[in-house]
Copies of this chain bind each other. A is one copy, B any other.
Amino acid sequence: MLGSQFGKNFRITTFGESHGKALGVVVDGMPAGLALVESTIQRDLDRRRPGTSPYATSRQEPDKAKLLSGVTKDGFTNGAPIAIVVENTDAKVADYKENERLFRPGHADFTYHRKYGLNPQPGGGRASGRETLARVAAGAVARLLLASTTRIQVLSAVRAIDKIVAQKSSFEFAEKDPLRFLDPDLAPKAHNLVKAAQEKGDSLGGVVEVQGLNVPAGWGEPVFAKMEALLGAAFFSIGAVRAVEFGAGTSLATLPGSQANDPIGPSGPMGDLHGGILGGISTGKPIVARLFVRPTPSISLRQDTVDLQGVPSKIVTHGRHDPTVAPRLAPVAEAMCLIVLADLYLERQANIALHPQIYRED
């Protein structure tokens, strides 16, 4: 599968381990002539950084993006692959020392051992959440492409922390909230819940919502490359995501057909049941997806496991871990959505040229 590549027209290749020398990404497919500097990427990396929140891991990395290729000396993309590298500087291998012979529950240690013959790697190696840094860097490049050529905006925030579900949707509030929570009124309750879990050494799950605004109608492909299939793959490729829904999602399984169709007006479906997608193709309404995120598997409580020889043992996963990963996962989900839309933007051009009369509103 060569699992480290994603996309067809806007294709990213990521690399790097949690405690290796560096992580990075090569972005191929970016058109020439767009102004791209390191700060464009840094802005998005900073939104993902740990240490900006009281709940985030105490690992302190500057996460500085270095742009190695793909730009002219004047700072414009040249159509060639854009390589971005971020060095690891605060990789405390010691924290993980004792775990090198124990498989951490809820982590990839066991399956990586069975697939690759590897002992548990410091910080999870390639399976670390730190891998998502490369996606966010690539997402910044995708955002530049979309911002230069369309009116598309992609937003992300936390819709729910454990059983507290946001009833309002203020992305503005969420952007400043350490939990990225959508509802200013319920946010204090969510914060209290997270603090309580943190104090117990436990962790919490949540729901991340991603919205794609101003996506023109007619993007996406039928059958296997439906927009939900592309976004579904994109979102399920993020470690802690255990379920994904679009539009009215799971609730559509319990609605009758007479309440499950958005009626159609002159500019397309009216309503949000379909999540902006019909038959795999965008309707022109906002794309809405929700990602159900499991609680952080690393907790400070004792759990049952085995060692490399299969001998039963107890493990406490020290190290630096967030009590809930949902807030930090939101910018990653946003990045994956940007990458999918950038891919579809490039896809879309061929047909526009053929049938300009159809696409007048794009």
Check B229 against A261 for contact (C-beta < 8 Å): no
Q: Is A278 an interface residue (CB 8 A)?
A: yes
Check B222 against A233 for contact (C-beta < 8 Å): no
A126 surroundings in chain B (CB, below 8 A): 78-80, 222-223
Tallying the copies of this chain within the complex gives 4
A106 touches which one: B162, B218, B260, B357 (CB < 8 A)? B260
- Output the nearest chain B residue to A246 by Cβ-Cβ distance: B242
Encode contact with B along A339-362: 1 for CB under 8 Å, 0 otherwise.
000011111011111110110000
Number of interface residues of A (CB under 8 A): 160
A246 touches which one: B118, B234, B243, B263 (CB < 8 A)? B243
Check A252 against B347 for contact (C-beta < 8 Å): no
Q: Is A331 an interface residue (CB 8 A)?
A: no
Encode contact with B along A111-129: 1 for CB under 8 Å, 0 otherwise.
1101111100110011100
Q: Is A212 an interface residue (CB 8 A)?
A: no
Check A108 against B222 for contact (C-beta < 8 Å): yes
CA A197 to CA B256, docked complex, whole Å: 8
Q: 8 Å CB contacts to B: which residues of A296-349?
A: 296-299, 301, 303-306, 310-312, 343-347, 349
Which stretch from A3-11, A48-56, A178-186 is at the chain B interface? Answer: A3-11
- Output the nearest chain B residue to A132 by Cβ-Cβ distance: B223
Q: Besides A16-B68, A203-B258, A264-B304, 19 other CB < 8 A contacts?
A: A1-B343, A2-B221, A3-B221, A3-B222, A5-B13, A24-B68, A78-B125, A108-B279, A110-B264, A111-B218, A127-B222, A205-B253, A232-B244, A237-B280, A243-B249, A243-B253, A250-B292, A263-B305, A265-B312
